[in-house]
Chain A
Amino acid sequence: TQLLEQSPQFLSIQEGENLTVYCNSSSVFSSLQWYRQEPGEGPVLLVTVVTGGEVKKLKRLTFQFGDARKDSSLHITAAQPGDTGLYLCAGESFGNEKLTFGTGTRLTIIP
């Protein structure tokens, strides 16, 4: 069974601070996706990384895929209250179209 562990599980920081969320596995993935879910809504896709070592930026969010394709990180610069939500990573396995979702990080940005 493939598992994606996210850390931290909960994170509460002040507006303007920086933070990093991690997504780790012992399995190799062909690609990794990041989602954000707000209360009462379904998760929304933020980004997909497909190449080992790849870095993608989305405004203040920076996503990195590990060289070995087993882990990923999400770094947020100058966090804002609108960043509040549940962040989920999801990995696609080689030769299997099933997505494996991570355990999630619940982020709260305090104004």
Chain B
Amino acid sequence: KAGVTQTPRYLIKTRGQQVTLSCSPISGHRSVSWYQQTPGQGLQFLFEYFSETQRNKGNFPGRFSGRQFSNSRSEMNVSTLELGDSALYLCASSFGGTGDTEAFFGQGTRLTVV
């Protein structure tokens, strides 16, 4: 079966712009989580959506937002981009039930803010 698909793979944006990243989970998975990965901070949890509702949230500013659609696809939006937002953004899908959190990751979107 198809894996987790993230688009685009690479993105270059200018400070102050906004960006939308997309994630298509594995069929049947209802949970989608987003992570920011940088060399200095490691894998940082942004938020998790389950059945179109945000179920968990990390410690990121309000410029980072997301949503999930009825087909479980998810988007993440970052507004007013800053240089420090340059990172690999990963999404992961899972069935999302208790004891069923094994995450399947996409290849990520490499965002560069200039």
Contact = CB atoms under 8 A, between A and B. Distances in A.
Interface of A: 30-31, 33, 35, 40-45, 48, 50, 88, 90, 92, 95-101, 103-104
Given A42-B4, A103-B42, A104-B43, A97 B101 contact: yes
Interface stretch (B63-71, B76-84, B92-100): B92-100
Contacts of A98: 45, 48, 55-56, 101
B31 A42 contact: no
23 contacts: A31-B99, A33-B101, A35-B103, A41-B107, A42-B4, A42-B90, A42-B92, A42-B108, A43-B43, A43-B92, A50-B99, A92-B101, A95-B98, A97-B31, A97-B50, A97-B97, A97-B100, A97-B101, A98-B48, A98-B101, A99-B33, A99-B45, A101-B35
A39 to B, nearest CB: 10
Contact of A97 (B35, B55, B105, B106): B55
A30 B103 CA distance: 15
Kindly state the interface size class of chain B when it binds its partner. 20 to 34
Contact of B105 (A30, A44, A92): A44
Contacts of B92: 42-43
Contact of A99 (B50, B103, B107): B103
Given A40-B107, A42-B105, 5 more contacts: A31-B99, A35-B103, A42-B90, A97-B56, A98-B55
A65 to B, nearest CB: 14
B96 to A, nearest CB: 6
Interface in B1-51: 4, 31, 33, 35, 42-43, 45, 48, 50
Contacts of B102: 33, 45, 48
Nearest to A44: B105
A45 to B, nearest CB: 6
Contact of A92 (B55, B99, B108): B99
